[in-house]
Amino acid sequence: MTATLPEVEDRGRANTARPRPPRRHRLSNLDAKVSPYLFVAPFFVLFGAIGLFPLLYTAYVSLFDWEVGDDEPAFIGLENFRTLVADDQFWNALFNTFSIFLLSSAPQVVVAVVIAALLNANLRARTGWRMGVLLPYVASLVALTIIFGNLFGPQYGLVNDVLGLVGIEPIDWQASTFGSHVAIASMVNWRWTGYNALIILAAMQAIPRDVYEAAVVDGASALRQFFSITLPMLKPTLIFVIVTSTIGGLQIFTEPKLFEPAGGSGGGTEHQYQTVVLYLYQSAFQGLDLGYASAIAWVLFLIVIAVAGLNFLITRRAVR
Amino acid sequence: MRHRRVSVLICAAVSAVVMTACGSGGSGQSADGKTELTIATFNEFGYEELFKEYEAAHPDIKITQRKTGQGQPHHQNLFTKLGAGSGLADIEGVEEGYLSQVMAKSGQFNDLNEIGPKIEDGRWLDWKTQAITTKDGKLIGYGTDIGPLAMCYRKDLFEQAGLPSDPEGVKTLFATWDSYFAAGDQFIAKVPGVAWFDSAAQVYNAMHNQLETGYYDTSDKLVVDTNPDIKKNWDTVAAAVSKGQSARLVAFSPEWNTGFKLGKFATKTCPSWMLGVVESQAGAENAGKWAVTDAFPNGGGNWGGSYLTVPKQSKNAQKAAELAAWLTQPEQQIKAFKAKGTFPSQVKALDAPELLEQTNAYFGDVKAGELFATQAKKIKAAQYKGPADGQIQETVFSPALQSIEQGKNAEEAWTAAVDGAKKAAK
């Protein structure tokens, strides 16, 4: 089909020989063509150096049996990935990661929407409340984790003392898988709920007032307004919040790392709360097995993309 | 035309930033023609004054210290830069806990017998030198300090349990591990709510290090499941845990500190540096309750202490070795001991009056220096450590013992430990 295109569409470029433009024109042509690339180059150079290159190099390293200090690492193809698939500790870490992610992100988004709705109401000292919910986010993550680690201490922790007051048996937050996940998820929620609430609040305030006014005229209750107007119009923001908390949640590291009382990277005596990134860290910097750690990193990368994409689709469909 | 020039400038600036990140270290010559020696240490080696002394005696040498607060990041840096092939200091400190990993890469360190100055025979305790000598006889480090083990115990709680509590009387309790655990049974029966020791791993590791063969045999074969002594120790400690002798605290965790404050355990395996830890954790309210004695079940043991090594990366290896040899002379190590309390590994230093006269007020004015010197001489030999030895102890056996304290079946925990050790050794 392309061969039969009429001559006119070519705008006469192909057949007529063009005279060489004078030198000055050529320079300005070059300027027009090259300068834009130079303008965008800083981003791409930086991204290439500190974003793309490590990503690709990690993929390259993952094909080797590469120990720290090896002079000539042996190429083993996909062997690391094969080991990984058969590695119970990896699947356990993946389970822990998802468990902690669900225990943190799911309640977090719901609570954040509720808090945002409350903050959006006519409150006294509104700015004070809004700044208040952001405070946990400002606090140092490490300090926060250490304090929570103390609160959830199995023997002398405050949480168990309080549970004892209401007659609940003390829980060994270090030994129990579910208990440790709850403890870690509570750190994540403490830190991120307020932050997400503020983002959602900003989106809420962008919803035009006249839509609500029309709903009031039609006799819609406050609850009805919330579900039929507020939530649907928050959709783009909710997608953003859910996707970012997915990415953050699946890469969780600091909380489980510092929750370990003696500062190891095993994530509990039997890896009860070892997450994928913590396992990656342990493989790379304790086992000194860079090839294997790189394989974990890549698998995690793919999982994060897949789950974030899935969440994107679900959120887009669910909140119409 | 103008905008083009600007963009070129930006590009140049960016590439300059990227390039400087790849810049390499100096050549080892400082601007004034002196030889610059770098030495990387962690915690407190107590060498600051000694450097000045050495520089004064050697005008052609300039010493730069790279000090890291904690051992863990120091050694991580060491292994990363060994891997990278550059960036290490001329002298690198190595802690005993990381020794097995360093020995596995001994080819990247200089043989000090070869490049170092002639050193008098018997400067160090035999086991200290033995531990850093490779199988083919290369000496890759000079010993600095050690951590000989003694037993710390709560006098008041011993009295409460009707056990002897004076330093001489308790020695029979601490004669062997059997007598130690038997005394533990007696103790927990009399004093409810208080355990005999703090943590299973703390006791087990001390027992393990006394074995002739540890996790590896000398041909680097993992013998975790074939060495009957390991299982025997495991069963002994597991039995003590099941009887309630352990306070089930993870060493150096916040709860462990609380355990000291509340007096939740009666004995503690005590290397020389632990006295300071006990004092700061138990605090003033427990003053006069802790005591230490020069006895340790089955003889002695060591926990901690360091070496000075000279990596092959060093451009001034010979001069670095001379400095390291000088720093580890008994005279110098005694000065470090006085400055920062690092317990010397040199035979002559153990008899120095400065050391023998040292007392510890918190532990009832006990002659701590003399006591630990006695303990240091009780150690017979250094156990051979295979490549993943430190990792097996820290990340496999200690957590597995904690899992027993958390209520896991001892046999299941043993199976998990053996599997974990095999994986770590892979």
Instruction: Concatenate the DSSP letters of all residues of B325-351 into one string.
Output: HHHTSHHHHHHHHHHH-PPB-BHHHHT
The residue written with tokens 């190590």 in the block is B333
What's the CATH code of the domain at B234?
Answer: 3.40.190.10
Q: Please name the residue of chain B whose CA is at the shortest distance from the CA of residue A46.
A: B14
Q: Round to whole Å and give the CA distance between A46 and B17.
A: 10
Q: Do A153 and B255 touch (CB under 8 A)?
A: yes
Looking at CA atoms only, how far is residue A48 from chain B in angstroms? Answer: 11
Quick one: what percent of chain A has pLDDT higher than 90? 52
Task: Examine the pLDDT at A213 and tell me if it is beyond 80.
Answer: yes
Arithmetic mean of pLDDT over chain A: 87
Q: Please name the residue of chain B whose CA is at the shortest distance from the CA of residue A49.
A: B18
Looking at CA atoms only, how far is residue A121 from chain B in angstroms? Answer: 43
CATH of domain A88-318: 1.10.3720.10
Residue B362 lies in a domain: no
How confident is the model at residue B58, as a pLDDT? 94
Residue B270 lies in a domain: yes
Mean pLDDT, residues B383-397: 88
Torsions phi, psi for B162 (to 5 deg): 75, 20
pLDDT tens-digit map of B324-337: 999 999 999 999 99
Torsions phi, psi for A66 (to 5 deg): -110, 105
Residue B61 lies in a domain: yes
Chain B interface, best mutation among A67, A156, A289, by max B CB count within 10 A? A156
Q: Which of A49, A149, A262 sits opposite B252 (nearest CB)?
A: A262
How confident is the model at residue A20, as a pLDDT? 67
Looking at CA atoms only, how far is residue A287 from chain B in angstroms? Answer: 7
How confident is the model at residue A18, as a pLDDT? 62
Q: Round to whole Å and give the CA distance between A231 and B107.
A: 65
Residue B67 lies in a domain: yes
Given pLDDT bands bounded at 50, 70 and 90, which one contains residue A14?
low
Q: Do B253 and A261 touch (CB under 8 A)?
A: yes
Looking at CA atoms only, how far is residue A116 from chain B in angstroms? Answer: 37
Looking at CA atoms only, how far is residue A153 from chain B in angstroms? Answer: 7
Q: What is the largest CA-CA distance in chain A?
A: 94
Task: Examine the pLDDT at A8 and tell me if it is beyond 60.
Answer: no
Q: Is A276 or A121 the better-scoring residue by pLDDT?
A: A276
Q: Are B371 and B294 in contact (CB under 8 A)?
A: yes
How confident is the model at residue B177, as a pLDDT? 96
B291 and B205 share a domain?
yes
B62 forms bridges with which residues in the sheet? B36
Task: Examine the pLDDT at A199 and tell me if it is beyond 70.
Answer: yes
How confident is the model at residue B30, as a pLDDT? 64
A264 neighbourhood in chain B, CB within 8 Å = 394-395, 399
How far apart, in Å, are the Cα atoms of A120 and each of A136, A204, A217, A231, B129? Answer: 20, 8, 21, 14, 71
Task: Examine the pLDDT at A256 and tell me if it is beyond 80.
Answer: yes
A263 neighbourhood in chain B, CB within 8 Å = 72, 252
Residue B27 lies in a domain: no
B277 and B323 share a domain?
no
Given pLDDT bands bounded at 50, 70 and 90, which one contains residue B12?
very low
Q: Is B277 or B21 the better-scoring residue by pLDDT?
A: B277
Task: Examine the pLDDT at A320 and tell me if it is beyond 70.
Answer: no
Q: Which of A42, A175, A270 sits opposite B14 (nearest CB)?
A: A42
ipTM of the complex: 0.77
Q: Which of B101, B252, B402 sits opposite A269 (nearest CB)?
A: B402
A285 neighbourhood in chain B, CB within 8 Å = 76
Q: Round to whole Å and give the CA distance between B132 and B95.
A: 11
How confident is the model at residue A26, as a pLDDT? 80
B197 and B284 share a domain?
yes
B236 and B173 share a domain?
yes
The residue written with tokens 């006269």 in the block is B357
Task: Examine the pLDDT at B15 and tell me if it is beyond 80.
Answer: no
Q: Give the start-to-end residue ranges of the domains of chain A.
A: 88-318
Q: Please name the residue of chain A whose CA is at the shortest distance from the CA of residue B425.
A: A287
Q: Tell me how many domains chain B contains.
A: 2
Q: Do B400 and A269 touch (CB under 8 A)?
A: yes
Q: Is A84 or A27 the better-scoring residue by pLDDT?
A: A84
Nearest of B344, B369, B357 to residue B123 by alpha carbon: B344
Quick one: what percent of chain B has pLDDT higher than 70? 93
CB contacts < 8 A, A to B, total 98
Looking at CA atoms only, how far is residue B370 from chain A in angstroms? Answer: 31
Q: Which of B18, B105, B407 sits opposite A69 (nearest CB)?
A: B105
B85 and B212 share a domain?
no
B298 and B308 share a domain?
no
Residue B13 lies in a domain: no
Looking at CA atoms only, how far is residue B54 from chain A in angstroms? Answer: 33
B291 and B321 share a domain?
no
Chain A interface, best mutation among B10, B402, B419, by max A CB count within 10 A? B402
Element (H, E) at B200: helix B200-209
Residue B191 lies in a domain: yes
B212 and B294 share a domain?
yes
Domain that holds residue B101: 33-146+304-356
- Residue B331 identity (one-letter amino acid): E
B274 and B385 share a domain?
yes
Q: How many CB atoms lie within 10 A of CB A301?
A: 15
A161 neighbourhood in chain B, CB within 8 Å = none
Q: Please name the residue of chain B whose CA is at the shortest distance from the CA of residue A173.
A: B406
How confident is the model at residue B72, as a pLDDT? 82
Quick one: what percent of chain B has pLDDT higher than 90? 76
Q: Please name the residue of chain B whose CA is at the shortest distance from the CA of residue A282.
A: B395
Looking at CA atoms only, how far is residue B302 from chain A in angstroms? Answer: 21
Residue B234 lies in a domain: yes
Q: Round to whole Å and give the CA distance between B161 and B179.
A: 16
Give the alpha-carbon dihedral of B345, B346, B351, B355, to 10 degrees.
-50
A30 neighbourhood in chain B, CB within 8 Å = none
Residues of B with CB under 8 A from a CB of A: 1, 3-4, 7-8, 10-11, 14-15, 18, 72, 76, 79-80, 82-83, 101, 105, 108, 248-256, 258-259, 262, 391, 394-395, 398-400, 402-403, 406-408, 416, 424
